[in-house]
Amino acid sequence: MDEELSTVFKALGHPIRRQILDILKQSPKTTGELDEYFPDVTRYSIMKHLRILEEGDLVVVRREGKYKRNFLNAVPLQEMHNRWVGKYMQTTASTLLNLRSTVRQKGGNEKMSEFRIEQELFIDAPREEVFKALTEKVEDWWEFRIAPKGVTSHFTFDPVPGGQFIETWGEKEGAIWGNVYYVNAPAEIRLFGHLGMQGAVNSAYTYRLLEKEKGTVLQLSHTASGVIQEQWEQEHKKGWEYLLGTLLKNYVEKK
């Protein structure tokens, strides 16, 4: 943990690298697009800064055709926060599910938009255990709920093609968090699911699990398109950081 934090602090130690993270917070960028933000800095220097950020796991790189797109990965920052600040925080007042549920439809104001979230974290546990925690054991750590306040609900997750990630309460009440459409256990599972968003929205998310140094690198990809409210992207980023970087990681590593 200390070695990982040292790498993160090194990555944050230069103002240009901090500026790059500020830019990526708004939206992912290719190296060429980032280069345009720094006219007085050489492209080679920008590439070097990106490599250091990638080594600190603060940037996740994904190839798209002939380009490489850089995404902000805030999970290491969340881990730092948990170590020194988290225990002094009050219970989170708003969660992933406290999204506004009404999409304005008056006057034809609907606006189509999209977002894409890429996050990555290391979990000190075998890949099979992480996959099982993500699916069959999700009831043990998944904190967010759709059920009415004060009502006890339960989760089930069937990790097979056509399976569902479901929350149920009462006799016949419940909600579907995801429909499974691809499984390659324990390496990958893909789902369709709104995850708290309502209305005309298409949303899909993928977990990829890579074996690394007797542990597991968990990669999350979440895309959404449609009539999306402005705050949903940031709320889902924070929600995923908390779910995976705090709840899941703590659950698996403390077993």
* pLDDT digits 0-9 by tens, 11-48: 999 999 999 999 999 999 999 999 999 999 999 999 99
The pLDDT of residue 113: 85
The pLDDT of residue 107: 45
Weakest-pLDDT range from 112-121, 178-187, 225-234: 225-234
- For residue 105, what pLDDT band results from cuts at 50, 70 and 90? very low
Higher pLDDT, 19 or 113: 19
The pLDDT of residue 79: 80
The mean pLDDT value for 220-244 works out to 92
The pLDDT of residue 85: 56
- Domains of the chain are 2-72 (1.10.10.10), 111-253 (3.30.530.20)
The pLDDT of residue 1: 60
Mean pLDDT estimate for the chain:
86
The pLDDT of residue 31: 92
The mean pLDDT value for 124-141 works out to 97
Tell me: pLDDT of 119 over 70: yes
Tell me: pLDDT of 226 over 80: yes
The pLDDT of residue 77: 85
The mean pLDDT value for 200-218 works out to 92
- For residue 215, what pLDDT band results from cuts at 50, 70 and 90? very high
**Relative orientation angle of helices 15-26 and 43-55, to the nearest 10 degrees:** 80
- CA–CA distance from 129 to each of 159, 195, 254 (Å)? 14, 24, 12
Q: What is the DSSP string of 106-170?
A: GGG---EEEEEEEEEEEESS-HHHHHHHHTTTGGGT-----SPTT---EEEE--STT-EEEEEET
pTM over 0.85: no
* Residue range 156-188, pLDDT digits in tens: 999 999 899 999 999 889 999 999 999 999 999
The pLDDT of residue 139: 96
Strand partners, 161: none
Tell me: pLDDT of 101 over 60: no
Strand partners, 166: 156, 176
